[in-house]
Amino acid sequence: MKTLRILSVVGARPNFMKVAPFLRAIQAHNRSPNARVSLAHTLVHTGQHYDDAMSDTFFRTLGIPPPDVNLGVGSGSHAEQVGRTMIALEKILIEQRPDWVVVVGDVNATCAAAITAKKLNLNMAHIEAGLRSFDMTMPEEINRLVTDRLADLLFTPDAIADENLRREGVPPTRIRNVGNIMIDTLDANREAATALSLSDILSRQRVTAGNARPALDGGYAVLTLHRPANVDDPAALNGLVRFIINEAATVLPIIWTLHPRTRQRLEAGGLWSAVQATPNIVTLEPLDYLDMLRLNLDATIVLTDSGGLQEECCVLGTPCLTLRSSTERPVTLAAHGGVSRLVGNDLEKIRQGFDELRQLPRRPHRPPLWDGHTAPRIVQALAETSSL
C-alpha cells in the first residue's frame, strides 16, 4: 500500500486542541480496512509555548503523543519566534520532505511553518483557513493572511470563511468547508469535563492560598484576557480591571484564569494586589482543557478576548462578552445565531453587555458542520490527494 507522509506543526496553546482530533482521525484511517493509502505522521512542536501549564498538560489531557521533534524556539519578539522556527524547521523539512505539511490556526508557528514549507516547494494545508478580523494590528491576522495566500489546501470552518477566501482570489478547488475542528475536541471531552468538580479545580489551580473563596451556587463569570490590545495597553487594562473589581465582582463571583502575559502586565501595572484583595475574584493559574471546559459548562457568562472560547461558548450556549472590537469568528455573533457580543474595551458597552448577557438563558448553537466530525473529513481529503 502507498504511504502518504504528513508532517504537522504546532506551537502554542490554541493549536493543541486542533491537532488532537486530527491525529486521532489519522489513526482511525490507518485502522480502517477500506483505506487505500496509509498515512505516516510526524508531529513537530516549535516550542513557542513551553510551560507545563501552557503546553505539556494539553498533550496529556488530550491524548496527543509527545512531539517527534521539538524546535525549542521559546518566547521572544515576533521576528525572533518566526525566524527561529523557520531556521530550525527548514532542516527537518529538508531531511523528511513530507508529502504534506499541515498547519493549524493563526499563531506564529503557523505562519513560520507555512513559509518554510512553500519555500521548499512542499504541499501545505491549513486547518482553520479563511478567518479574517480585517484588523491588521493583530499579529494573528498577518499570520492568517500569509498562511492562506500560500496554502494548497484550505480547510475552512464556515461559509463566511469560504467567502473571504473567494474574495481574495483563492481558487475554489483549494477550499474545503469541513467545519470546526475545535468542536471535535469539545464533543470528545464534554463527558469527562462534566464529571469534574468545580471546587476541586478552584482549590487545585488557585494562584494564592489566601485568595477569595466565594460561593458559586448563584452563578459565576469566567474571565480570560491575553490580547495585546487589552493587556499591553496600560490604560485599557486599567479600565477593564477597574470595571471587574468595582462593578462586575459586586454582582457575580469572577473566576479569572491568568495567561502568563496578563499576570506579568498586572504586576507591572501595579494592579495585581488590588485584584488579589477583591473578595469576589478568584485568580487561577492557566487551566488545562478539561478544567476550562468544566468552568464554561456552568458559567453564567464568559468575558474573553480568546477566539477559541468564543466558539466553545457558541456550541455550549454560554453568553459570551467578547472583549474585542473585531472578530475573525463572526459566525459566533448573535447576528449569525450565536451568543457572542463584541464590546471591545469600551467600558459603556462592556457594562451594558454584562448586565444584559448575564440575565440570558444558555442558547446552544451549532453552525453547519460543527458536528464533531471535522477531522475525519480533513484526513479523507488529504488521503484522496495520494491518487492525484
In this structure, how many other beta carbons lie within 10 angstroms of the beta carbon of residue 121?
A: 8
> Which lies closer to ligand UD1 via its Cβ, residue 240 or residue 252?
240
Cβ proximity to ligand UD1, 262 vs 280, nearer residue? 262
CB within 8 Å of 243: residues ≥ 6 apart? 347, 350, 351
Is the Cα dihedral 302, 48, 127, 140 positive or negative? positive
User: 331 vs 104, 158, 334, 343, CA distance in Å?
Assistant: 19, 8, 8, 16
Q: Cell 446552544 identifies what position?
A: 364
Note the residues at the interface with ligand UD1 (CB under 6 A).
12-14, 48-51, 54-55, 75, 106-108, 139-140, 226, 259-261
* Phi, psi angle pair for 103, to nearest 5°: -120, 155
Task: Provide the minimum distance between the beta carbon of 191 and ligand UD1 in the complex, in angstroms, as a whole number.
Answer: 25
Write down the residue that cell numbers 469534574 correspond to. Answer: 196
Task: Return the number of the residue (140 or 184) whose C-beta is nearest ligand UD1.
Answer: 140
The smaller minimum CB distance to ligand UD1, of residues 12 and 343, is found at 12
Q: Residues 82, 112: contact at Cβ < 8 Å? A: yes
Question: CB 387 → ligand UD1: shortest distance, Å?
Answer: 35
**Minimum separation from the CB atom of position 11 to ligand UD1 (A):** 7
Provide the minimum distance between the beta carbon of 324 and ligand UD1 in the complex, in angstroms, as a whole number.
11
| Beta-strand relationship, 320-322 and 340-342 | parallel
Residues with catalytic function: 226
Residue at 38: amino acid letter: S
- CB 32 to ligand UD1: min, Å: 34
Residue 209, class by beta-carbon neighbours within 10 Å (0-12 exposed, 13-18 middle, 19+ buried)? Answer: exposed
CB nearer ligand UD1, residue 99 or residue 106: 106
